[in-house]
Amino acid sequence: MNTFGVFSEVGRLRSVLVHRPDLSLRRLTPANHDEFLFDDVLWVDRACEEHDAFVNLMRDEGVTVYHLQELLTEALAAGDETRKMVLDTVVNATTVGLSAVDAVRICLMDMEPAGLARHLIGGLTVSELECVYMEGLSRFSLTAAAAGPDAFILPPLPNTLFTRDSSSWISGGVSLNPMHWPVRRRESINVEVVYRAHPLFRDAAFLFWHPSPGDPTLSGLQTFGQSSLEGGDVMPIGNRTVLMGMSERTSARMIEQLAAVLFEKDAADRIIVARMTRDRAHMHLDTVFTLLD
C-alpha cells in the first residue's frame, strides 16, 4: 500500500507533484493577465525548458516526480462516474449558463481523458467548443452569444503551476484548500479528483484533513463563506509543529478549522500562526521566507 505525507519542510524529498507550463499559461494576454493574478505574460516555451531542467535535477537526486495533468488524465480514465462527478461540479448554470449546461456536459463527457484533463486546466473558449466539438452553441446559449467567440466557457487555471497552493500535505494527511480568489478555486477540484480517484492514491494510507474526514463531496460543492486557505501559508516544520501564515489569502476561520482537525486526529502538537500584512507582497508565508535546513 502506498503511503504519503509531509512531516517537515526540510525532510528528505521522496516524491513531488508538479505541473508543467502548458495551455493555461498560453491563454494569458496583456489584457487578461491581471484577472488571472499574473503580473505579466510568460514566455511559455522558455518556461517549459526551465521546468523540464528542474524536474530532471530532482529525478537525478532520486525524487519521484508526478505530473498533475498526467495524473488527472489517468484519474478521469478510471471511470465515467469520476468524469460525471467533476463535470457536475464545474459545469452548471452559474458557470456556463442554464441553456448550455446539458450540451457542454455531454460534449466534455465524450472527450478522451487526455483532452478533458487538458481543458479542465487549460480552459476552453466558445469558438473552440463550436469549431471542434459543438457547432451552433451561440444560437441557443445566451451566455455564449453575449460573451463572444474568444470568451472562455471554461476559464483556464494558469496558477495550477503553483501546485503547493491547492492542497497541503501535513503529517499523514492532506487538506484540499478553499482558495481565496475565485479564479483559482477549480484548482482544488482537479487535485481532489486525483487524490480520490487515481489508483495511486485511491487505496493509499492517508487522511483528508479538509474537507472533513469522511466527506465524499468535491470541494466545489461546498460553500466556504469567508474561509480560505492556500498551501503557501502552510509549513510543517518538524517535531509535530505546523507554522501557518494568516495572510491575504489564508483566513483565521480556516486556520481554526484545520487546527481543530489536526489536534483531534493527533497529527500535530502545536500550530504557530504568523499574522501578516494583507497585501500582494506578503500574499503567502513562503513569499516572506523559505526553510532550507
Domain harbouring 101, CATH code = 1.10.3930.10
What is residue 130's predicted lDDT score, i.e. its pLDDT?
77
Left (φ > 0), alpha (ψ -120 to 50) or beta: where does 37 sit? left
Cell 482544488 belongs to which residue?
188
Prediction pTM value: 0.93
- The string of pLDDT tens digits covering residues 105-149 is 988 999 999 999 999 999 999 888 876 556 677 788 888 888 888
Residues 109, 130, single domain; the answer is: yes
- Statement to judge: residues 110 and 249 lie in one domain: no
Q: Is residue 9 part of a domain?
A: no
Supply the mean pLDDT for the chain.
91
35/176 same-domain check: yes
Full residue range of the structural domain in which residue 245 is found? 15-69+161-287
| pLDDT given for residue 217 in this prediction | 56
Q: Is 247 left (phi over 0), alpha (psi -120 to 50) or beta?
A: beta
pLDDT greater at residue 28 or residue 141 = 28
In-domain check, residue 5: no
